[in-house]
Amino acid sequence: MPSIYGLTEIETELMELFWSRDTSFTFSEILHYCNEVKGHGWAQTTVHTFLTRLIQKGVLESGRKGYKRFYYAAVSREELAHQYASRFVEESYGGSVKNLLVSLNYHSGLSKDELLELRRLLDQELDKPESR
């Protein structure tokens, strides 16, 4: 599994667990997933380190229910993709979506269907009462 959206391959694998169900997981459930389902054989400290990194990256949150700590996704896969895309456009194209599209068209040659879809989306945006 390749890394995505600024997450390492292992971090992505862990996030797939959280994205697969809209619920929280206890540490023991996560440890079971890593070792029994994925077959990693990791120590508790290793799993804890990965969870801490995901929390620091803002994609995972944790809380307590009684004596048990639970973990849940702070952002959906789609939200993370939007954040990553926005950061990419800002850093690579100075925030200009136009420059991104020019680059995509120049380097990979958008198909006629893709160009028509872009036109449809642009027309839809222009028809909104308060266009950006």
Percent of the chain topping pLDDT 90: 58
How far is residue 34's CA from residue 41's CA, in Å, rounded to a whole number? 7
Write out pLDDT tens, residues 79-128. 998 988 888 889 999 999 888 888 887 877 888 898 899 889 889 988 98
Write out pLDDT tens, residues 10-36. 999 999 999 999 899 999 999 999 999
How far is residue 119's CA from residue 132's CA, in Å, rounded to a whole number? 16
Q: Which residues, including other chains, have CB under 8 Å from residue 117's CB and lie 6 or more apart?
A: none
How far is residue 23's CA from residue 63's CA, in Å, rounded to a whole number? 13
Write the CATH number for 20: 1.10.10.10
Percent of the chain topping pLDDT 70: 95
Q: What angle do CA 69, 65, 28 make, to 5 degrees?
A: 35
- What are the CA-CA distances from residue 123 to residues 60, 69, 89, 119 (Å)? 37, 48, 22, 6
Per-residue confidence (pLDDT) for residue 2, from 0 to 100: 52
Q: Which residue has the tokens 């667990």?
A: 17
Is the pLDDT score of 4 beyond 70?
no
Per-residue confidence (pLDDT) for residue 47, from 0 to 100: 98
The whole domain housing 96 covers 77-126
Per-residue confidence (pLDDT) for residue 25, from 0 to 100: 97
Do 66 and 25 lie in a common domain?
Answer: yes
Do 83 and 56 lie in a common domain?
Answer: no
Do 69 and 83 lie in a common domain?
Answer: no
Q: Which residue has the tokens 């040659």?
A: 109
